[in-house]
Chain A
């Protein structure tokens, strides 16, 4: 399962978008998601759609990836559209028995679908162009100001990094145990719910035991190398805000501001 061994769907690259600081990308995405819910008029949606579109083009990602990301939620989107079209009161356009597709409903439904699509496409752009380890570093850096409130940013990031590193190992181990137990005649696929839950035990017990063994070994290794927390740590990856980060932030801020002003003036 080569697919599962690499967590996430990060597409390595060297484009402008890839090279943006992960902190900037995280903050901009979060701001975008919030502002998205303030958009009301088609113009605002158009501006909001241009941002991720520019991102995909600048990142030199094939636009078919947008479709790939959307495919799993097409059913949900259609359901939203249909439910909204049918259940919003207003001028009926088309009657099906006692239900009517209303103009208002259709408008709200399309708006919601567009919103969800933009939400998805933008969230996906972040994880497509930023590796999980960069994102972790970015989150650590963004959480650092909250240290005074008792948020242990470094420790959280350390645990996250260890977890990231262990995922492929654990998946491989799980695969091995699964095959080993099947070779001994274990049956994971038949029977009712309780039976199948019970069948998980010969898989989970060795997995837990192996995981603990590895964790203890790693902790010993870290202690032997004088791990002492984040204080005074020097980093392998250093992040600096570059000019392109300022440009990206300025462009996004202008677009988001436009949306907010449009709402303030529009309604």
Chain B
């Protein structure tokens, strides 16, 4: 059998990713889905249909580790799996807002962290991403989801959006961000986060490099 020279470890397949990166992202996607599917926690002050899940954590992690598009792919996989699982009651219409919000969060985080690869750069990126996500979801709910989907009149929608959807999503993204801040440095030695002058770099291509353990 002839040997295949096509698979040198640096060969880029799609999205400028190597095979190792793609497989790692796929597994992160599975993890994001599992966290979203299984570990939903109600947050006491909010109504029970708004639940926290840590599904964004692997996605933010991916966007820090291998750039915004890696994070976007994890979000896409997570929501794609959610769609396939049939747990989304309204099919793709129900998944779409979640996907858009997740994309806003991870791409902003990834872009900011790439520019400022420090702990505070990442934190600022996540804060910005959280605001973008909450704003986007509020806008979607106000302009499309609640009025068109449920046909609720706008005077009933406005207090609902400002009172619950906006703060809930800020809190949700905030918890995920805090988890990432706690997790990322701890995983540095095991997954090969780039280190400069003995300090963890908060943006890199760690998923592409295989480090001996």
| With A33-B93, A198-B182 as contacts: A112 and B27 at CB distance below 8 Å | no
Using CB atoms and an 8 Å cutoff, list the residues of chain B in contact with chain A: 4, 6-7, 9, 13-15, 19-20, 22-31, 33-34, 37-38, 41, 43, 49, 54, 57-58, 61, 73, 76-77, 80-81, 84-93, 148-153, 155-156, 175, 178-179, 182-183, 186-187, 190-191, 210
Residue among B86, B182, B190 making CB contact with A209, cutoff 8 Å:
B190
Cβ of A171 within 8 Å of any chain B Cβ, yes or no, is yes
Q: Which residues of B contact A170 (CB under 8 A)?
A: 27, 30-31, 34
Does B91 contact A122, Cβ atoms closer than 8 Å?
yes
Residue among B24, B33, B73, B152 making CB contact with A216, cutoff 8 Å:
B24
Does A29 contact B187, Cβ atoms closer than 8 Å?
no
Number of interface residues of A (CB under 8 A): 76
Q: Which residues of B contact A136 (CB under 8 A)?
A: 84
Q: Which residues of B contact A163 (CB under 8 A)?
A: 26-27, 29-30, 33, 77, 81
| With A170-B31, A209-B191, A212-B27 as contacts: A152 and B15 at CB distance below 8 Å | yes
Q: Which residues of A contact B151 (CB under 8 A)?
A: 80, 84, 108-109, 111-112
Q: Which residues of B contact A251 (CB under 8 A)?
A: none
| With A163-B29, A228-B7 as contacts: A219 and B89 at CB distance below 8 Å | no
Does A7 contact B31, Cβ atoms closer than 8 Å?
no
A175 to chain B, nearest CB (A): 10
Closest residue of A by beta carbon distance from B9: A223
Does B13 contact A30, Cβ atoms closer than 8 Å?
no
Does A164 contact B81, Cβ atoms closer than 8 Å?
yes
CA distance A9 to B84 in the complex (A): 9
Closest residue of B by beta carbon distance from A165: B30
A-B pairs with lowest CB-CB distance, top 3 = A123-B91, A127-B86, A152-B14
Does A160 contact B80, Cβ atoms closer than 8 Å?
yes
Does A219 contact B179, Cβ atoms closer than 8 Å?
no
Cβ of A14 within 8 Å of any chain B Cβ, yes or no, is no
Does B153 contact A7, Cβ atoms closer than 8 Å?
no
Q: Can you give 16 A-B contacts (C-beta < 8 A)? A: A7-B84, A76-B150, A112-B150, A123-B90, A124-B89, A159-B73, A160-B29, A163-B77, A164-B81, A166-B27, A201-B179, A201-B182, A207-B31, A208-B61, A209-B191, A229-B14
Does A87 contact B156, Cβ atoms closer than 8 Å?
yes
Does B86 contact A128, Cβ atoms closer than 8 Å?
yes
Does B85 contact A193, Cβ atoms closer than 8 Å?
no
Closest residue of A by beta carbon distance from B148: A37
Does A155 contact B13, Cβ atoms closer than 8 Å?
yes
Does A124 contact B81, Cβ atoms closer than 8 Å?
no
Does A83 contact B152, Cβ atoms closer than 8 Å?
yes
Q: Which residues of B contact A42 (CB under 8 A)?
A: none
Cβ of A239 within 8 Å of any chain B Cβ, yes or no, is no
B122 to chain A, nearest CB (A): 16
Does A164 contact B86, Cβ atoms closer than 8 Å?
no
Does A162 contact B54, Cβ atoms closer than 8 Å?
no
Q: Which of B153, B175, B178 has the most CB of A within 10 A?
A: B153
Q: Which residues of A contact B91 (CB under 8 A)?
A: 29, 33, 119-120, 122-123, 126
A41 to chain B, nearest CB (A): 16
Closest residue of B by beta carbon distance from A228: B6
C-beta contact mask, A126-159 vs B, less than 8 Å → 1, else 0?
1110001001100100000000000010111011
Closest residue of B by beta carbon distance from A86: B156
Does B84 contact A8, Cβ atoms closer than 8 Å?
yes
| With A88-B153, A226-B4 as contacts: A197 and B86 at CB distance below 8 Å | no
C-beta contact mask, A67-80 vs B, less than 8 Å → 1, else 0?
00100110110001
